[in-house]
Amino acid sequence: KMAGSPALLFLLALGLCCPGIHGQKDDMKVRFRDRSITHPKLGQQLALECETTNTGSGVFWVRQNKDGTLHFIVFISSLSRATFKGKKPSTHFEARKDHNIYHLVVKSFTPADEGNYFCLMNANQELYFSRGQPAFFPVTTTAAPTALAPTTQSGITRKDPCLKTLDPENIKKKELSLFCDVFIWIPLAGACLLLLIALVVTTVLCQRKTHPQPKRRSTVKKKKKKKKKSVSIFSSTVELA
């Protein structure tokens, strides 16, 4: 992808289509003007420079953003003439040539200016490019907030059971074990109850066989016999009289 000057598109197409005429030139170096800078700061000025041994050719400044898109910034001729995008003066950039150094200044660095900056040169029908200079804001890491345990009046800390998250696999295992327990123990309890009932019935039957109850009919018959004897005795006494 390329957003910018048609001349730069032509040069890149020329370098890509014709093998052997493009490459990385070791004597082209891009760096921050202030060597102590490692990351740009928001809203502050950022100055970059492209140093080369060939002062007879102009230099293109290009920025590659995070998604890999190339953006044309400016072309600086060997006579220190700057041509920005749209051939209009820029209020965001400054560009000039000073001896063998081509300067680029970002007046107020913003997140849209983040990317890799490098310069291109077309010298003797060969396209050269420098190593990229990354210009990104420093990555800020925020520490996760630590939750404080509730304290009682006596100063003893207690853990909140609601804060503990249950593993879905453990929940499934517990449900399966509960189902298995119910499936096993209910029939077992029923069988035990049947065995208990059978045991009670057998003990009752055995007690009846070993200790039979006395017969009531025999006692009645004996009483009747006694009555008959008394009647017969009474009748005999009457006859004698």
Please give the model's pTM, rounded to 2 decimal places.
0.52
- How far is 67 from 4, CA to CA, in rounded Å? 16
Alpha helix (H) residue ranges in the chain: 6-17, 168-210, 216-240
Q: Which amino acid is at 136?
A: F
Of the candidates 104, 131, 121, 146, the one whose C-alpha atom is nearest the C-alpha of residue 55 is: 121
All structural domains of the chain with their residue ranges: 2-135, 170-240
Of the candidates 11, 40, 29, the one whose C-alpha atom is nearest the C-alpha of residue 131 is: 29
Please provide the CATH number assigned to the domain covering 2-135.
Answer: 2.60.40.10
Per-residue b/e over 78-87, b at no fewer than 16 CB within 10 Å?
Answer: eeeebbbbee
Six-digit token string for 47: 């100055």
CA-to-CA dists, residue 120 to 12, 54, 151, 175, angstroms? 9, 12, 65, 68
Residue that the structure tokens 């004597």 belong to: 27
Sign of CA dihedral 66, 67, 72, 78: positive
Using DSSP's 3-state secondary structure scheme, residue 83 falls into strand
CA-to-CA dists, residue 140 to 66, 133, 136, 137, 143, angstroms? 17, 20, 12, 9, 10
Residue that the structure tokens 């045991």 belong to: 199
The pLDDT, as a whole number, for residue 126 is 86
Q: What is the 3-state secondary structure (H, E, C) of 199-234?
A: HHHHHHHHHHHHCCCCCHHHHHHHHHHHHHHHHHHH
The pLDDT, as a whole number, for residue 176 is 59
The pLDDT, as a whole number, for residue 25 is 57
Q: Would you say 96 and 82 are in contact if contact means Cβ atoms under 8 Å apart?
A: yes
- How far is 77 from 61, CA to CA, in rounded Å? 11
The pLDDT, as a whole number, for residue 237 is 43
Strands 82-84 and 133-135: unpaired
- How far is 118 from 133, CA to CA, in rounded Å? 6
Residuewise pLDDT in 10s, the chain (241 residues): 545 555 555 555 444 444 444 555 557 899 999 999 999 999 999 999 999 988 888 999 999 999 999 999 999 999 999 999 889 999 999 999 999 999 999 999 999 999 999 999 988 888 898 999 999 999 887 766 766 655 555 454 555 544 455 555 665 566 656 655 655 767 777 777 888 888 888 888 888 777 666 655 555 455 555 555 544 444 444 444 4
